């Protein structure tokens, strides 16, 4: 799942759950049936899980464009100078993973 897809999945999850909760409460209150409210909400939760949990193609429309390895070699990253290399070096190595 790409970055846009993750954002979309989270948004979708929250909207679907809140909407099914509101719908379930209204149905339950109007029909005077507590169990019906729980059933409608359970249905909403299952639907939400099916839509947002699997990695659907829908969530992969904005793939990250990584640079080619050959391209990276042509533009080597600047070497760290000797002074202050201890702190800076650690940070860089972490980022590179």
Partner 1 sequence: MHSFGHRANAVATFAVTILAAMCFAASFSDNFNTPTPTASVKILGINWFQKEANGNDEVSMTLNISADLSSLFTWNTKQVFVFVAAEYETPQNALNQVSLWDGIIPAKEHAKFLIHTTNKYRFIDQGSNLKGKEFNLTMHWHIMPKTGKMFADKIVMTGYRLPEQYR
Contacting residues toward partner 1, per CB under 8 A: 1, 6-7, 9-10, 13-14, 17-18, 21, 24-25, 28-29, 31-34, 37, 41, 45, 48-49, 52-55
Q: Which is nearer to partner 1, 33 or 67 (CB)?
A: 33
R_g (Cα) of the chain, nearest Å = 24
Least Å distance, CB 91 to partner 1, is 22
Q: Which is nearer to partner 1, 43 or 88 (CB)?
A: 43
CB atoms within 10 A of CB 24: 20
């Amino acid at each position: 799942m790409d970055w846009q897809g993750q954002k979309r999945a989270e948004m979708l999850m929250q909207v679907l759950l809140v909407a099914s909760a509101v719908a379930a409460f209204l149905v339950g209150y109007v029909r005077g049936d507590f169990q019906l409210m729980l059933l409608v909400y359970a249905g909403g939760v299952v639907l939400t899980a099916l839509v947002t949990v699997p990695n659907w193609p829908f969530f992969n429309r904005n793939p990250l464009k990584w640079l080619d390895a050959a391209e990276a070699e042509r533009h080597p990253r600047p070497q760290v100078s000797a002074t202050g290399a201890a702190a800076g070096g650690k940070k860089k190595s972490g980022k590179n993973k």
